[in-house]
Amino acid sequence: IEELERRETELTASIQELDLEQGQEHLTSLSRRLNDLRNAYREKDGELRKLREALSRHHGELEAIEKQLVAASPINRLKESMGREVGRMLEQVSPDAKLLVEGLHIPTEHVTALQAVIAEKAGFLVAENPLKLARVFEQQVLAKAQTASEIPGLGVLRAGASSDVDLEQAGKVPFSSLLELIDVDERCQQAACALLRHVYLAPSLTEAIAYFEDASFVSGVTLVTPEGDLVTEHSFLSLRHKGGVLQLKSRIDELKQLVATLEEDQAGRVFERDEIQKSIDTTEAEHARVLADIQEKQRRERELTQEQGKVRGHLQAERRVAEQSKQDIERIGRQISETKLRLEEYVAEQQQVEQELAALVPEEETKLHAQLRELNETYLKLDARRRERREQLGQVAQEVEGVRRSLDKKRSQLSELQLAGQKSELEEAHLRERVEHDYGDGGIHFVFEAEGAPDPLTEEDRRERGAAVVRLKTRIQREGEVDPTSIERFEEESVRLEELDKQRKDLSSAAKTLRKTIERLRDTSIERFLSIFSQVKENFTKLVPRLFGGGKGTLELEDPSNPLDSGVLIIARPPGKKLKSIDLLSGGEKALCATALIFSMFMVRPSPLCVLDEVDAPLDDANLVRFLSLIKEMSVKTQFLLITHNKGSMSASDRMVGVTMEQPGASKVLTVSLQEAYEAVA
């Protein structure tokens, strides 16, 4: 009992040490963290998707503007109007020629002002030798052109490094030189200085006008405002318009900077998303490890609980036995006391009997000695008779053995005589057959008469033997002649029989192996099916209350003894209703049950794509909200294609795909990103 009590205490302590509650809390914490990480991953993925879309738009715009800038090149215009040969000749004369605007780097706020000053000159070429290009233009373009309208414009500025500014003039003008406000490549500096040496940027038109109204203004200065107004001492020109190659170049620089920023931001978001994915993988591994640990602890707890129950049962049984033993001890103690009393009485009686025997001993002793002598004499007589009978028995045994050997010898002789008689009969029958065959039916009498022997058979015996001979002849004729190759055929058939027998054994062995394999496959299939079925059942049990907003549901096998061929019974109980078969549910309840079953299987084995056709049609608003919430959660691992007419389902989707028919007989597929639509509306 003490050993069992100690074992029960140890089992209780072991169950408490498992600390399943703390493990469950840790698992719940990991689940929440995993859910947060997945939400963060979806957010980062959405941000990346938006960044990629923005990059795609900006790349498209950048490519289009760059094409416009290339098309603005005078050489390209000459190629289009005068032929590619002329363009190639110009390129050969000055292969390093490029647009002036390509060498200018202009802040956005000064683009309009610079556009007003240099206007179409921004599209002029910058080359080392403008005169060579002019000569080719004269010979190849002007000479071949039929009319003046066919001649495209061509402007060429000299390339070279020069950033000299008229410092004396700049010191007298109270405004900033426009040339100092922009960055110019070394190759284009001479051309830029030629165009902008005396151009200054006035903050406003009012100040520009006021400058020239003052008598101290510097002659030859051109003032331009940020809005594109040009003021000189002799003229005023307002060119407040957008466009031109400078605007294109400025937009290209802006887009390149924006694309670089977006690509850097995209790389950072990709890194953050990858880090989140690593955290998800780590957390999932930790979650799986903790779950396996909890399952192992639960299994261990069940084992310890079962063992504890057994120990408690044994302990209770031992206690009952101990109690019964205690009662037995008390009862035996009482019996011992009673026995002691009786023993004392017996001792007293024995003493009295001994006293009485003491008086009778001499007489009885004399009688006993006399009886002992008589018994001794009787024993001696019986022993002598026993030895005599033993000798007689030995003699009889020898006689029996002799008779047995003689009998065996006679039996052996009898067997030999019987064999000899049978042999003689066979030889006689053979001789009779030969004689009858050679001499006819009377031949046997002739032989006996020739030998002087009497006929051994009577007339009746001869008739019987004759009939037997006729029957034997008939049988021999029916059997036909003896085949001399019968022995060889027999040997061949024996070899073939052995081969067939070997094949039969091989087939039997293969059949046994196949049956074992089939049984093993069936056992494995049953094991895997039951494992997956239990997981699907557990998920279904959790999803039904979530989709119904309460209640419960379960899955049962119709034939648990044959799970592979058994049907599955789906049982659901919506809130406030009795547990009943799915056949008795409403259309919406059936749809929710089917959704719960499909998603239960997806939770065990996710599918990359799921198509749901009008599943939400029978659902009310409350059930639709729960249904869409579950769709959003499951879309992390599965892409859902929902065919629906429900506006609520449409509003919850990421993208909508529809078919329209703008013209009769011509359908068109349209795709709309709801996120982009919301942003456009905002």
Mean pLDDT within 266-284: 84
Mean pLDDT within 413-424: 63
Over the chain, what is the mean pLDDT? 74
pLDDT of res. 611: 92
**Least confident stretch, 163-177, 384-398, 519-533:** 384-398
Q: Are 231 and 205 in contact (CB under 8 A)?
A: yes
pLDDT of res. 351: 66
pLDDT tens-place string over residues 467-524: 766 665 565 555 555 455 555 665 676 677 677 677 777 767 777 877 788 788 888 8
Per-residue CA distances from 237 to 188, 213, 486 (Å): 26, 16, 133
pLDDT tens-place string over residues 643-670: 998 888 888 888 888 888 877 778 888 8
In 3D space, the residue among 153, 157, 132, 148 whose CA is nearest the CA of residue 73 turns out to be 153
**Least confident stretch, 12-21, 41-50, 79-88:** 79-88
For residues 293 and 276, give the distance between their C-alpha atoms in angstroms, rounded to a whole number: 25
Task: Name the helix (H) or strand (E) containing 127.
Answer: strand 125-127
Residue 391 has pLDDT above 80, yes or no: no
Higher pLDDT, 176 or 412: 176
Which residues, including other chains, have CB under 8 Å from residue 141's CB and lie 6 or more apart? 78, 82, 86, 151, 152, 154
Q: pLDDT band for 534, please (50, 70, 90 cuts).
A: very high
Residue 537 has pLDDT above 90, yes or no: yes
**Least confident stretch, 9-13, 205-209, 255-259, 264-268:** 9-13
pLDDT tens-place string over residues 63-106: 877 777 666 655 555 555 544 555 565 566 666 677 777 778 88
pLDDT of res. 297: 72
pLDDT of res. 255: 77
For residues 656 and 673, give the distance between their C-alpha atoms in angstroms, rounded to a whole number: 7
pLDDT tens-place string over residues 541-552: 999 988 888 888
Single pTM value for the model: 0.33
Residue 446 has pLDDT above 50, yes or no: no
In percent, the amount of the chain with pLDDT more than 90 equals 4
Residue 7 has pLDDT above 70, yes or no: no
pLDDT of res. 36: 85
For residues 636 and 275, give the distance between their C-alpha atoms in angstroms, rounded to a whole number: 17
pLDDT tens-place string over residues 303-316: 777 777 777 777 77
Q: Are 159 and 133 in contact (CB under 8 A)?
A: no
pLDDT of res. 540: 92
pLDDT of res. 94: 63
Could you name the CATH architecture of 506-600? 3-Layer(aba) Sandwich (3.40)
CATH 3.40.50.300 domain position(s) in the chain: 506-600, 606-682
pLDDT of res. 454: 47
Distance of CA 58 to the CA centre of its chain: 41
Residue 451 has pLDDT above 50, yes or no: no
Q: pLDDT band for 202, please (50, 70, 90 cuts).
A: very high
The class of domain 606-682 in CATH terms is alpha beta
Mean pLDDT within 168-178: 75
Report helix, strand and coil shares of the chain as percent, to nearest 5: 70, 10, 20
pLDDT of res. 506: 74
Higher pLDDT, 600 or 400: 600
pLDDT of res. 484: 56
pLDDT of res. 539: 92
**Least confident stretch, 117-126, 192-201, 626-635, 662-671:** 117-126
pLDDT tens-place string over residues 337-380: 776 777 677 667 656 655 655 555 455 555 555 555 665 565 56
In 3D space, the residue among 119, 155, 157 whose CA is nearest the CA of residue 137 turns out to be 155
pLDDT of res. 386: 57
Residue 288 has pLDDT above 90, yes or no: no
